[in-house]
């Protein structure tokens, strides 16, 4: 049998995945290999490259085994949370062994942002009798300063001639954070630069942990032969170290001071050590005409940090026949600020118990516009290319004092995202 | 645990819709031999899991919300 180049690659990858699992590929099952790569680039900030490869083994009896490897490589600069100033500012790097300067009027960005994350996911799905299905999953990831592991289990049952599916899932995870330079003492002053043989000041220890638990209830309903609806409720609880060890909150001189509005101190941020969030999620899919599909998703999320968010996503897959398909996409996201979010703290005022200037906890309005082109191949394989533009706008909760007039305190973030997907 | 006003509105709308849906459920749906369209990749809710996973990871690291379609999880120092 003459194999084409593509087939040889496919067989070799399937054999490699089979060897990895210690399972012979040829035991009545079939392998499917998918890959996806993301290139993500923010203007003047973070750049990320994230390749993902997954192998899925399907046995004739409905059992499937999936493995997924993700590598996530980040470089660039990230907003530290500190305030800009009308003068140049000097900051200590997280290790405490270096400094960087930020120009007058510039948003302080920590330039030492560099990490690679390796993540492995495994999932085993098996039917239990005629109407039940169970899925068990495991996840592990490592990066320079963060390790994570979790297990999950889900059970689904079909009703009504398999037109209705109810599901319940639980997941438990455990993460360990070992920040560069140690764990900063919450709301303590940023350490000054120290010699290489000394630990930075205001540290609590080397590492912290957090545990995460999730519950997911789902209902999927086939409406008719061309449409279906999914409704999910989820409850997620996090307990432990939820602070970002690299973020700062500036103390600025109040309106009555001679140097009103200028930063006088930089503190390490502090977040509560518990968070409970819940969400309602609705997804609707409808085949408008042959292979033209409308996809609408809405999510409402609320938590005990007083974050409320709404997400609306719309996609329309327009079939072009032999050339493939085009899929325009729009996503709108809006979020209220966490109750301890503060762009800055004022000198002389009593310190709150928690404070974070991380804009991701502030009031946000985000838009994503995208276009995907896909070329379906035989056996449900496909290659596709997706280009998206993402813009985050942060709203100002209150007017800053004095010197900030004219400085950009809430810069928007713009990113370009490109994804390429290919099934072997 | 308090439920915010907007969530209550969503719940107030969603619960009757859900009950009505459940009542109508036996009449909803398609016969097994009539579900060919729904089995196509473009109509499956999880037709593109790798792309969905990457999208979730992007927004998880840039916003204060995650999950909904699946587990919110943790597993990353980016948030």
Q: Which of B10, B18, B76 is nearest residue A117 as measured by Cβ atoms?
A: B76
Chain B residues whose beta carbon lies within 8 Å of the beta carbon of residue A335: 63-65
Mean pLDDT of B24-51: 90
The answer, for A338 touching chain B at a CB cutoff of 8 Å, is yes
Mean pLDDT of A80-91: 94
The answer, for A333 touching chain B at a CB cutoff of 8 Å, is yes
Residue position matching structure tokens 């518990």: A274
Q: How far apart are the first and last CA of chain B?
A: 24
Task: Kindly state the percentage of chain A with pLDDT values over 70.
Answer: 91
Residue A4 has pLDDT above 70, yes or no: no
CB atoms inside a 10 Å sphere around CB B37: 17
Residue B12 has pLDDT above 80, yes or no: no
Take residue A187 and report the two structure tokens written for it.
């709301």
Residue position matching structure tokens 């993402």: A390
Tell me which residue of A326, A160, A187 sits closest to A243, measured CA to CA. A187
Residue A9 has pLDDT above 50, yes or no: no
Residue A393 has pLDDT above 60, yes or no: yes
Nearest CA-CA distance, residue A83 and chain B, Å: 19
CB A311 within 8 A of CB B62: no
Name the 3-class secondary structure at A33: strand
Please, which residues 167-226 of chain A have a Cβ atom closer than 8 Å to chain B?
169, 171, 173, 175, 177, 210, 212, 214, 216, 219-226
Residue A95 has pLDDT above 70, yes or no: yes
Nearest CA-CA distance, residue A217 and chain B, Å: 10
Contact yes or no for A38 and B58 at CB 8 A: yes
Q: Which of A162, A232, A380 is nearest residue B41 as measured by Cβ atoms?
A: A380
Tell me which residue of A270, A299, A279 sits closest to A217, measured CA to CA. A279
Chain A residues whose beta carbon lies within 8 Å of the beta carbon of residue B65: 277, 279, 299, 301, 307, 309, 311, 333, 335
Rg (CA), chain B: 18
- Long-range contacts: B16-21, Cβ < 8 Å, 24+? B18/A219, B18/A231, B21/A221, B21/A229
A393 CA to centre of own chain: 18
Q: Dump the DSSP string for A370-421.
A: EEEEEEE-GGG-EEEEEEEEEEEEE--SSPPPGGGTTS-SS--EEEEEEEEE
Residue A2 or A323, more confident: A323
Chain B residues whose beta carbon lies within 8 Å of the beta carbon of residue A34: 49-50
Rg (CA), chain A: 25
Q: Which of A177, A231, A335 is nearest residue B63 as measured by Cβ atoms?
A: A335
Residue A382 or A399, more confident: A382
Task: Determine the Cα–Cα distance for residues A242 and A111; give it in Å rounded to an integer.
Answer: 22
Average pLDDT for chain B: 82
Chain B residues whose beta carbon lies within 8 Å of the beta carbon of residue A244: 79
The answer, for A38 touching chain B at a CB cutoff of 8 Å, is yes
Mean pLDDT of A245-269: 90
- pLDDT bin (cut points 50, 70, 90) of residue A28 is low
Q: Which of A34, A171, A307 is nearest residue B64 as measured by Cβ atoms?
A: A307
pLDDT at B28: 87
Ramachandran class of A225: left when φ > 0, alpha when ψ lies in -120 to 50, beta otherwise: alpha
Contact yes or no for A279 and B67 at CB 8 A: yes
Residue A12 has pLDDT above 60, yes or no: no
CB atoms inside a 10 Å sphere around CB A103: 12
Mean pLDDT of A265-273: 97
Chain A residues whose beta carbon lies within 8 Å of the beta carbon of residue B48: 421
The ipTM value here is 0.91
Tell me which residue of A77, A107, A106 sits closest to A94, measured CA to CA. A77
Chain A residues whose beta carbon lies within 8 Å of the beta carbon of residue B40: 291
Contact yes or no for B41 and A297 at CB 8 A: no
Q: Dump the DSSP string for A314-371.
A: EEEEEE-STT-EEEEEEEEEEEPPPTTB-S-EETTSPPPS-BB--GGGS-EEEEEEEE
pLDDT at B73: 61
Nearest CA-CA distance, residue B15 and chain A, Å: 11
- Long-range contacts: B42-49, Cβ < 8 Å, 24+? B42/A287, B42/A291, B42/A293, B42/A317, B42/A325, B43/A228, B43/A285, B43/A287, B43/A293, B45/A220, B45/A228, B45/A230, B45/A283, B45/A285, B45/B69, B48/A421, B49/A34, B49/A54
pTM (2 d.p.): 0.89
Q: Dump the DSSP string for A357-373.
A: --GGGS-EEEEEEEEEE
Bridge partners of B17, per DSSP, are none
Task: Determine the Cα–Cα distance for residues B15 and B17; give it in Å rounded to an integer.
Answer: 5
Residue A107 has pLDDT above 60, yes or no: yes
Contact yes or no for B30 and A225 at CB 8 A: yes
Bridge partners of A125, per DSSP, are A64, A135
Nearest CA-CA distance, residue B79 and chain A, Å: 7
Task: Determine the Cα–Cα distance for residues B60 and B52; give it in Å rounded to an integer.
Answer: 12
Contact yes or no for B28 and A169 at CB 8 A: no
CB A250 within 8 A of CB A89: no
Mean pLDDT of A201-220: 96
């Amino acid at each position: 049998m003459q194999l084409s180049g593509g087939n040889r690659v496919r067989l070799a990858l399937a054999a490699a995945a089979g060897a990895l699992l210690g399972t012979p590929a040829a035991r009545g099952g079939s392998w499917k290999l998918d890959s996806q790569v993301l290139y993500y680039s923010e203007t003047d900030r973070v750049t990320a490259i994230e390749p993902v490869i997954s192998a899925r083994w399907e046995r004739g009896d409905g059992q499937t085994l999936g493995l997924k490897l993700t590598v996530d490589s980040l470089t660039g600069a990230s907003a530290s949370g500190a305030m800009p100033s009308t003068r140049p500012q000097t900051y200590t790097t997280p290790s405490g062994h270096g400094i960087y300067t930020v120009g007058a009027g510039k948003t302080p960005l920590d330039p030492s942002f560099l990490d690679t994350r390796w993540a492995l996911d495994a999932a085993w799905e098996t039917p239990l009798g005629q109407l039940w299905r169970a899925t068990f999953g495991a996840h592990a990831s490592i990066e320079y300063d963060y390790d994570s592991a979790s297990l999950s289990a889900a059970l689904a049952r079909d009703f009504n001639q398999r037109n209705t599916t109810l599901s319940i899932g639980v997941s438990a995870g455990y993460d360990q954070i070992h920040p560069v330079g140690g764990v900063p003492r919450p709301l303590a002053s940023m350490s000054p630069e120290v010699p290489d043989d000394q630990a930075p000041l205001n540290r609590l220890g080397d590492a912290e942990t957090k545990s995460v638990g999730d519950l997911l209830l789902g209902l999927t309903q086939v409406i008719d032969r061309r449409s279906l609806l999914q409704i999910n409720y989820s409850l997620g609880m996090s307990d432990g170290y939820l602070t970002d060890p690299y973020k700062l909150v500036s103390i600025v001189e109040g309106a009555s001071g001679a140097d009103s509005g200028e930063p006088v101190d930089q503190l390490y941020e502090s977040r509560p050590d518990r968070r409970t969030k819940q969400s309602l999620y609705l997804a609707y899919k409808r085949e408008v005409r042959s292979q033209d599909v409308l996809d609408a998703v809405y999510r409402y999320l609320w938590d005990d940090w007083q974050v409320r968010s709404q997400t609306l996503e719309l996609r329309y897959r327009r079939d072009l026949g032999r050339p493939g398909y085009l899929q325009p996409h729009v996503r709108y996201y809006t979020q209220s600020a966490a109750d301890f979010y503060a762009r800055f703290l004022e000198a002389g005022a009593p310190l709150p118990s928690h404070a974070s200037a991380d804009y991701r906890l502030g009031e946000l309005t985000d838009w994503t516009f995208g276009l995907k082109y896909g070329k379906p191949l035989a056996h449900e394989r496909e290659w596709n290319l997706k280009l998206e533009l993402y813009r985050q706008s942060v709203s100002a909760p209150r007017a800053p004092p004095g010197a900030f007039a004219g400085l950009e305190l809430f810069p928007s973030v713009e990113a370009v995202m490109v994804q390429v997907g290919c099934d072997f | 645990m308090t439920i915010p006003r907007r969530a209550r509105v969503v719940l107030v709308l969603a619960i009757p819709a859900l009950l009505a849906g459940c009542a109508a459920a036996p009449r909803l749906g398609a016969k097994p031999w009539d579900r060919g369209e729904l089995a196509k990749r473009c109509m499956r809710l999880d037709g593109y899991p790798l792309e969905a996973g990457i999208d979730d990871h992007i927004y998880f690291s840039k916003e204060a919300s995650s999950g909904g379609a699946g587990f919110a999880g943790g597993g990353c120092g980016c948030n």
